[in-house]
Amino acid sequence: MHVAILGNGITGVSAALRLRELDPDCRITMISGESTHHYSRPALMYVFMGHMRYRDTKPYEDATWRERRIDLVRDWVVGIDTEQRSLRLHRGEPIGFDKLVLATGSKPNRFGWPGQDLPGVQGLYGLLDLKALYDNVEDCRRAVVVGGGLIGIELAEMLLSRGIDVTFLVRERTYWGNVLPAEESAMVNELIRHHGCDLRLGTELAEIHAASNGRVGAISTKDGERIECELVGLTAGVSPNLDVVRDTAIAVGRGILVDPQLRTNIDGVYAAGDCAEIVTGDERSTLQQVWYTGRMQGHHVAASILGDDAPFDSGIWFNSAKFFDLEYQTYGQVHRRIPGEENLYWQHPTELVSFRIVHKDGVVIGFNMMGTRYRHEVCERWIRDGVRVRDVLPRLREAAFDPEFFQPYERAIERAFTEQLS
Amino acid sequence: MIEQSVLDHSFDEESVEFGEPAARARREVGPVERLGQVVLAGGVISLVVQIFVGTWAGSWLGFASAYGGMVVGAAVMFVGRYRGTTPGIKHDGVQFDTMTSRGVGGWIAALGLTGLYVALYWAPGLLGHGTGAGGGPGGLVLTVDPLARVLTGGAASQWFLYGTLYCLAMVVFGVRMLMKYRHNRYQKIRTVSVVVAQVGFAFVLANVLVLFQLPYYEFNGVWPLKYDTLWPEKVSALWAADAPHGAFGVFLVFWTAVVAVLGVPVLTYFYGKRWYCSWVCGCGGLAETLGDGYRQLSDKSTRAWKIERWLIHSVLVLVVLATAALWLEWPGAHGFKKAYGFVIGAAFSGVVGVGFYPLMGSRVWCRFGCPQAAILGLLQRYASRFRITTNGSQCMSCGNCSTYCEMGIDVRAYAQQGKNIVRASCVGCGVCSAVCPRGVLKLENGKGAGDRYSGADAPLAQFLEDLREPPRP
């Protein structure tokens, strides 16, 4: 059996490695036009800022692929023939397959703003964007970053680290307002400003204007304000990358449509990761565009190919990020506006540290932490076991994960939350 | 329907790499940092004048103006540099800076450091040893003479100069560590510990013993790192010493034996080898302070790991053989002793160990040569409670941990699988945990040794298995 995997990001690689673990005999070919080897996409910001070199972002030594007999092909797939079961490549000869995994990832959104295709306007997703960024920051005095989410704040940090002034347009009233509760979001707003970034909450991009040299020269907001800039970063979310799939018989919606076993409508063709839209019922489907679920879906699709028909289950939600120097972790359901949900929130009086427990009917359903680390395994277990919030408070120590000698916050949190509960 | 610009993409990220972006990072030098630079420059000028012109050389005025100026100036400079920044990891530009990325600056620093060590060991006259009045100290050695007279009661030698420079470097770069990691208590406490251990116990106390006509002894040095402390020559000198320091000499012999035989295994069982390697050891102390800027230069490849395993344990075998040969008076023992002292003691641990900081990182000796590290490492891997726990699922394989591991451990390989890191070479510096942007790593002394990795509950079997291949995750 020959399994071809389209895409060498975390999803494609997880699928390839798990497949090789489960089946020592099948032939595996991983195809990517973006890079020769798998690299960590979230690490690109550190390459730009000089923390790491590109080669440091590769999670596996190059010999790993040879050792595990996973063939790598560096080329773009430009056509998928589902009848002939072959892939047409941009440069090389066609590749036949028995099973195909589509792990094409996502693309930065472009919502049709006038001027969005001008030179100097770009998203930030992969190596092509990083290369473009190097070109676009030359002679750049001010950049406008459009879209208040994780990639936007990272791009702002990258640009500020090179001495470029940044104006950050956030459509919501507060940074990442649909994910972060008000208090945590307010912490980040202040942090963004503290780093010298010109933060514009409740501000939307209207148009991008060209300068006399044909490159971007300014933007206008929907309020009519004009801001001069030489670079525009479009970081208003991502959408599944369907470029190569659109002209095929593979069914797509917002993403490549798959069932809970990650199978598309074509027999032997699967999709996983950012590009996959998992249909879980009538009118219900999920897009998961996070590194962690990409990894999990990659593992799952490997099992599915070998006949395991268990439905994909991403388990209890978790995520983490870093806003400049502020670390964030989340477990379970936070800020979901579930009827009956209640919040316990504590913030350190002077340090940038906060902790939140979301509970419903006395039982813990979610955690948020800013500036302090907690054990995933323990938080997940508490949520899964439906531990009562009153029982968790005296046991917070079990989940504490900050380095040794760090000031412990559990007592203060327990005191504050016990008071809030009564 | 892929865009043409995408299809045309032919940038070879592997061979070309990205390098430094064109936009210049704007870092203004603040007034405090500027003041520090001026005072530092003044100190350097004073030192140069003393060495080449002779004015004030050997006087307290000379010592204070040169070393006081350099130390205070550099410390103030570091304080000023980090003071206005937000507390957090400060690695912007590390890969672009000529000093920290094997650029021209790094090579010059390496040549300078290597040259200094070569002079210390084999051409001390270049540093002024014996070139002064009546065969006394001259040149650079003379400039630390006032301190030598106070601490030891005698004239300065090149070794006293070495100790002075070593400690001052640790203090100054210790200040830098405290500022750089002021958001991280583990780093701050560990830095203070290792600076106090070296400056207090391996320099001031060791020299003051001489002042009281007691034997010179560095209390943070242990056999087999300080290999001569258990060699017959030193032991019999200590043991058979006449009063008034006869009892003290005996005490030192017992101290050495107790630390080596009892202290090492017990402390390593509870805390891992970090209690010594990054909290007490002098070599480690310089590596963690002066060497902090060079962590990322260590080789993380499996190939380097394989070389490391064979090399470090070979040195351990050699020092054990040398010790045995001397005690049992085997033929050729003295030649062996001299060869060991030259190749391992001087060239490897000194010249290469420090001279190569700007080229191969700060822990070349610790990782590839130190027999003490070999013993501590075996204990840590098979009989210790220490581990680095991982919040594995939060790992997004960025690579910061591996990049900044000074021992060349591929920390990421374990973290991305959610596995504990229990490696013989881990010195527990904690920097991997500090640079991780997702809170994945935590250094911990667990409740037992058997739960750390699969196979840890049967250490001997695991050891035999590890002999064949390095235990990759």
**Measured in Å, how far apart are chain A's first and last C-alpha atoms?**
62
**3-state DSSP assignment of residue B371:** helix
CA distance B173 to chain A (A): 20
What does the alpha-carbon distance between residue B307 and residue B302 come to, in Å, rounded to a whole number?
9
ipTM: 0.96
State the pairing for strand pair A106-108/A27-32.
unpaired
Contacts of A333 (CB under 8 A, 6+ apart): A317, A341, A358, A365, A366
Name the residue among A318, A300, A288, A321 with its Cα closest to residue A105: A288
State the pairing for strand pair A99-102/A269-271.
parallel
Say yes or no to pLDDT of B243 above 60: no
Chain B residue closest in CA terms to A244: B1
Radius of gyration of chain A (CA): 23
Nearest to A51 among B7, B95, B393 (CB): B95
Chain A residue closest in CA terms to B393: A292
What does the alpha-carbon distance between residue B390 and residue B402 come to, in Å, rounded to a whole number?
14
Residue B443 tokens read as 């250094």
Amino acid code (one letter) for B335: G
Segments in B181-239 forming alpha helices (H): 185-196, 205-211, 232-239
Bridge partners (DSSP) listed for residue A258: A278
Q: How far is CA B400 from CA A56, A161, B91, B423, in A?
A: 8, 18, 10, 18
How many contacts (CB atoms, under 8 Å) link A and B? 188
* A196 torsion bin: left (phi>0), alpha (psi -120 to 50), beta (else): left
What does the alpha-carbon distance between residue B94 and residue B74 come to, in Å, rounded to a whole number?
20
| Residues of chain A with C-beta less than 8 angstroms from the C-beta of B14 | 36-37, 54-55
Residue from B385, B398, B403, B469 whose CB has the most chain A CBs within 10 Å, to mutate: B398
CA distance A370 to chain B (A): 11
Residue B244 banded pLDDT, cuts 50, 70, 90: low
Q: How far is CA B177 from CA B78, B79, B436, in A?
A: 9, 10, 17
Residue B313 tokens read as 């344990």
For residues A368, A374, A378, A380, the Cα torsion angle rounded to the nearest 10 degrees is 30
Residue B210 tokens read as 């001489």
Is the preceding omega at residue B244 within 30 degrees of 0, hence cis?
yes
Chain B residue closest in CA terms to A402: B442
Name the residue among B65, B280, B234, B59 with its Cα closest to residue B150: B59
Give the tens place of pLDDT for each residue, A6-21: 999 999 999 999 999 9
Give the tens place of pLDDT for each residue, B83-129: 888 889 989 999 999 999 999 999 999 999 999 999 999 999 999 99
How much is the pLDDT for B94?
96
How many residues in chain A?
A: 422
What's the mean pLDDT in A335-359? 97
Nearest to B393 among A33, A318, A404 (CB): A318
What does the alpha-carbon distance between residue B53 and residue A268 come to, in Å, rounded to a whole number?
84
Say yes or no to pLDDT of B392 above 90: no
What does the alpha-carbon distance between residue B106 and residue B91 come to, in Å, rounded to a whole number?
17
**3-state DSSP assignment of residue A347:** strand
Contacts of B454 (CB under 8 A, 6+ apart): none
- As a whole-number percent, the residues of chain A with pLDDT over 70 amount to 100
Q: Do A325 and B86 touch (CB under 8 A)?
A: yes
Contact status, residue A236 vs residue A121, Cβ threshold 8 Å: no
DSSP category for residue B242: P
**3-state DSSP assignment of residue B387:** strand
Residue B238 tokens read as 């200590």
For residues A256, A148, A57, B295, the Cα torsion angle rounded to the nearest 10 degrees is -160
Number of other CB atoms surrounding residue A51 within 10 Å: 26
Amino acid code (one letter) for A110: R
Residue B127 tokens read as 């540093």
Amino acid code (one letter) for A244: V
What does the alpha-carbon distance between residue A418 and residue A390 come to, in Å, rounded to a whole number?
8
Number of other CB atoms surrounding residue A92 within 10 Å: 13
Q: Do B400 and A130 touch (CB under 8 A)?
A: no
What does the alpha-carbon distance between residue A232 and residue A210 come to, in Å, rounded to a whole number?
11
Number of other CB atoms surrounding residue B201 within 10 Å: 17
Contact status, residue A365 vs residue A333, Cβ threshold 8 Å: yes
What's the mean pLDDT in B299-305? 96
Sign of CA dihedral A68, A73, A76, A81: negative
Sign of CA dihedral B164, B169, B170, B176: positive
With 0-12 / 13-18 / 19 or more C-beta atoms within 10 angstroms meaning exposed / middle / buried, residue B138 is buried
CA distance B38 to chain A (A): 26
Residue B26 banded pLDDT, cuts 50, 70, 90: low
Nearest to A161 among B25, B183, B184 (CB): B25
Residue B241 banded pLDDT, cuts 50, 70, 90: low
Say yes or no to pLDDT of B25 above 80: no
What's the mean pLDDT in A270-280? 97
Angle between helices B302-327 and B371-382 (to 10 degrees): 110
Least confident of A182-186, B35-39, B128-132, B403-407: B128-132
Q: Do A138 and B3 touch (CB under 8 A)?
A: no
| Residues of chain A with C-beta less than 8 angstroms from the C-beta of B93 | 49-50
What's the mean pLDDT in B276-303? 97
Chain B residue closest in CA terms to A11: B396
Give the tens place of pLDDT for each residue, B172-199: 999 999 999 999 999 999 999 999 999 9
Contact status, residue B74 vs residue B172, Cβ threshold 8 Å: yes
Sign of CA dihedral B191, B409, B290, B86: negative
Residue B103 tokens read as 């650029």
Bridge partners (DSSP) listed for residue A359: A342, A364
What does the alpha-carbon distance between residue B371 and residue B312 come to, in Å, rounded to a whole number?
6
Say yes or no to pLDDT of B246 above 80: no
How many residues in chain B?
A: 473
Between A404 and B392, where is the model more confident? A404
How much is the pLDDT for B253?
87
* B268 torsion bin: left (phi>0), alpha (psi -120 to 50), beta (else): alpha
What's the mean pLDDT in B281-303? 97
What does the alpha-carbon distance between residue A103 and residue B7 come to, in Å, rounded to a whole number?
18
Nearest to A131 among B11, B87, B89 (CB): B11
Q: Do A134 and B7 touch (CB under 8 A)?
A: no
Q: Do B87 and A37 touch (CB under 8 A)?
A: no
| Residues of chain B with C-beta less than 8 angstroms from the C-beta of A39 | 13
Bridge partners (DSSP) listed for residue B83: none
What does the alpha-carbon distance between residue A121 and residue A135 come to, in Å, rounded to a whole number?
11
Chain A residue closest in CA terms to B445: A404
HEC string of B41-75? HHHHHHHHHHHHCCCCCCCHHHHHHHHHHHHHHHH
| Residues of chain B with C-beta less than 8 angstroms from the C-beta of A54 | 13-14, 17-18
Give the tens place of pLDDT for each residue, A243-252: 999 989 999 9
Bridge partners (DSSP) listed for residue B444: B387
For chain B, give the mean pLDDT. 94
Contact status, residue A59 vs residue B397, Cβ threshold 8 Å: yes
